[in-house]
Amino acid sequence: MDEILQEFLTESGENLDHVERDLVALEESPDSRQLMAAIFRNIHTIKGSSGFLGLSKLESVAHAGENLLSSLRDGKLALNAEITTVLLTLVDALRRMLQHLEAKGAETDEDFSALVAELKRLNNPDAAPADAAPAEKAPAAEKTEAPAKGETASATEEKGAPAASAPEKKPETSTAKPAAQPEATKSAPARQGRESAPQEPPPPPSLTTETNVRVSVGLLDKLMNLVGELVLARNQILQITGGVDDTQMVAASQRLNHVTTELQEEVMKTRLQPIGNVFTKFPRVVRDVARELGKKVRLELEGKDTELDRTILEAIKDPLTHIVRNAVDHGIELPEVRRESGKNEEGHLLMKAFHEGGQVIIEISDDGKGINAEKVKQKAIDNGLITADQAARMADRDAFQLIFHPGLSTAEKVTNISGRGVGMDVVKTNIEKIGGTVEINSELGKGTTLRIKIPLTLAIIPAIMVESGSQRFAIPQVNLQELVRLDGEEVKTSIETILGTPVYRLRGRLLPLVRLSEVLDLPERDDDQSLNIVVVQAENRHFGLVVDRVFDTQEIVVKPLGDHLKSVAAFAGATIMGDGRVALILDVIGIAEKARISSKIADVAAEDAVETRAAVSGDRRRLLVFGMGDSNRAAIDLSTVGRLEKLPRSMVEHAGNREVVQYRDDVMDLLRLEDVLGYPPTHDDDELLHVVVYTVNGKNLGLVVGRILDIVEEEVRIQGGQRGNGIIGRAVIQGRVTEMLDVDGIVRQFDPEFAGHN
């Protein structure tokens, strides 16, 4: 019998590989009867053979799977994520059984009754007592937790054996798997169904151990809510006892404070799940994608125990999958190519999760070919996202971020693997939706790293409290960059106005300012003595939110807004403060949109890109207009302007053959535009030189223009008539013909030395 058993093990292993692959393929083309039939046949074969071989346990587990598959194949049941997950779990279970069989020559003792029950339940959905959709969903979600707990328990008992018995035990066979996916996919309906669903689910397949108890998701949510309320009550008590002398009362409230904090943390933990639950999915994804493409990829998972709130876990699953597929598809090279470039044939993909500063960081790095910044730029230019000049100015790091631009990622070559109609822009959007950020960095030839930063939970978040127009608001910490306070004279001197928009120069970068009171139409505070700027970031936009007062950061409990307020983009939710008052949580992205920040000042590459595209199509554009010579007018795009200065002519010194001025503790070269562009000199009595300061990477170049006239925002239609280098064309601005200059081009052409610095 040994020969047959050996054949059986080999054959079944292959069959399971096929099933696994087909199941994954089926996720993409759920209607393929062919795939379903193949899956059925493979499981069927395993069942049939194990029956002959007297492997009753294997037979019974495979049989339960076969029955479910038969219903699916015959169209009696529709495949869904839950079923797929359970079927994958089945594959894992069968594989474990085979491994045990191979190592020990006998069937495993592991208990698979929960899995079998689950397979039966899925095959018989009508047996569920409730017919109402929400009611049916909720228990389903809860039920799927049963194997989770059970598996966790069995995981420990299993650990010892496979180390010896299954040397090539892959991470995907991790027992944590059954927990994650069914639960994750079900969490949303479960939450919706919370109100109406019966709290007590039908008796689940019993697999409880002494140390684990099944708890319904609805109950956990409710607990979380209650703790939220408790936190609010605690905050109130603390506020009241803050002004009380009664030491006993103070002591008691301190104790309440500590216990509440601890309780909050612990309850939060009940909702946390190891990211490994999502990670376990990737070995399969990577292998399948790699196999399909003929690539060799080794996936390494680090920090699988890092815990995250289940809702967040669910939300990052798809973006992560896309990133992983992308990395294998576009990042890692074919084995031949890798060999030629002196790399190991087998590519390396590392997924790493860890906690940092109260947030979870997930890094996905590959040692593939990296991203060619120039190619990205070229693509962006081709797609009209940026101009050649902007591309030239753009740092590689900024160019990588362009990958997240919708205009670029949808233009990406569509392949079977990653071109699933989902671009990197969607990845970014999805991550930002849960208050996360994503950054990409790459080194050509060496690899690419994506860094995702996400909050631990969405239910309680750290936020900074601010006041504007006598009302309090909470700004989520994830959006917060820094706080700037200007006092006294600074208020007047350091705020410039470009085009009616106040801007503050924060370390050399123009930061548009938005008065919160203005956006929300609140009473303006009458105080010029100080200015509080909350520097926030959202979707690559930085701007300063001017508020009246800034308070502490607090852990706030996020409460959803009522329906009537949901349409107000400026708010993300509400919270109740210690004094019982409600504070609205600001949605920074919404505010940016409301204040039209993006159309105000584009200081980020992606924003620049949008701008330029708009400009090309004859859209509104902001320009700095200046006189050149006595009668010419010229204009440049305001986004290229670092600063405007009027410097006394006496300041001009000479260094070698260059004109320079001492400017901000540095020596700034001057470039006289009239000279280099061939305009007649301006005859002006003005003792001041009008200088446009052009800044790249912290280095300044003073462009001397005739006379600064105005900043305009106009619809500009540039006409040809190119007069020479550095001049884009002519346009009618404020009713007068004005030559449009290309500052980047001019600098490159006439001051290559400066341009070379960058």
Q: Report the interface residues with other proteins, using CB under 8 A.
A: 3-4, 7-8, 11-12, 38, 40-41, 44-45, 47-49, 51-54, 66-67, 70
Minimum CB separation from other proteins for residue 123, in Å?
12
- Residue whose C-alpha is closest to residue 83's, from 118, 41, 113: 118
CA 549 distance to own-chain centroid = 30
Residue 10 CB, shortest distance to other proteins, in Å, is: 9
* Nearer CB in complex with other proteins: 50/311: 50
Whichever of 20 and 151 has its CB closer to other proteins, that residue is: 20
* Nearest CB to other proteins, comparing residues 38 and 689: 38
Nearer to other proteins, 44 or 121 (CB): 44
What's the min distance (Å) between Cβ of 608 and other proteins?
Answer: 56
Which residues, 6 or more positions from 48, have their beta carbon under 8 angstroms from its beta carbon?
Answer: none
**Residue 103 Cβ, how far from other proteins at the closest point, in Å?**
19
CA distance 617 to 599: 15
Distances (CA, A) of 708 to 501, 627, 633, 644, 669: 18, 6, 10, 9, 19
Nearest to 363 by CA among 311, 415, 424, 320: 320
Closest approach of other proteins to the CB of residue 164, in Å: 26
CB count in 10 Å sphere of residue 486: 18
Of the pair 4, 737, the CB lying nearest other proteins is at 4
User: Closest distance between other proteins and the C-beta of residue 32, in Å?
Assistant: 14
Nearer to other proteins, 10 or 254 (CB): 10
CB of 98 or CB of 689, closer to other proteins: 98
Which DSSP state fits 327?
A: I
For residue 437, list its beta bridge partners: 453
Distance CA 56, CA 73 (A): 24
Nearer CB in complex with other proteins: 14/305: 14
Residue 179 to residue 298: CA distance in whole angstroms: 25
Cβ closest to other proteins, residue 49 vs residue 311: 49
Rounded distance, CA 22 to CA 37, Å? 10
Tell me how far, at minimum, the Cβ of 61 lies from other proteins, in Å: 15
Is 71 or 306 the residue whose CB approaches other proteins more closely? 71
The SS3 call for residue 303 is: coil
Q: In Å, how far are 459, 617, 698, 702 from 666, measured between CA atoms?
A: 50, 40, 11, 12
Beta-bridge mates of residue 95? none
DSSP H or E stretch at residue 136? helix 133-143
**In the complex with other proteins, which residue's Cβ is closer, 98 or 691?**
98
Contact predicate 555/265, CB 8 Å: no
In the complex, least distance from residue 76 CB atom to other proteins, rounded to whole angstroms: 13
Residue in the structure block whose two tokens are 């980047």: 744
| Closest approach of other proteins to the CB of residue 49, in Å | 4
The answer to whether the beta carbons of residues 574 and 584 sit under 8 Å apart is yes
Helices and strands (H, E) in the chain, number of each type: 27, 29
DSSP 594: H
- Minimum CB distance to other proteins, residue 122 (Å): 16
Judge whether 184 and 126 are in contact, CB under 8 Å.
no
Helical H segments across 307-393, by residue range: 310-326, 335-340, 373-382, 388-393
Shortest reach from residue 45's CB to other proteins, in Å: 4
Closest to other proteins by CB, 3 or 527: 3
Can you spell out the DSSP letters for 604-620? SHHHHHHHHHHHHTT-E
Strands (E), 631-744: 632-637, 643-648, 653-655, 658-663, 666-672, 688-696, 699-705, 707-715, 727-733, 736-741
By the 8 A CB rule, do 261 and 254 touch? no
Q: How far is the CB of 31 from other proteins (least distance, A)?
A: 19
Q: Which is nearer to other proteins, 116 or 728 (CB)?
A: 116
Smallest distance, other proteins to C-beta of residue 65, A: 11
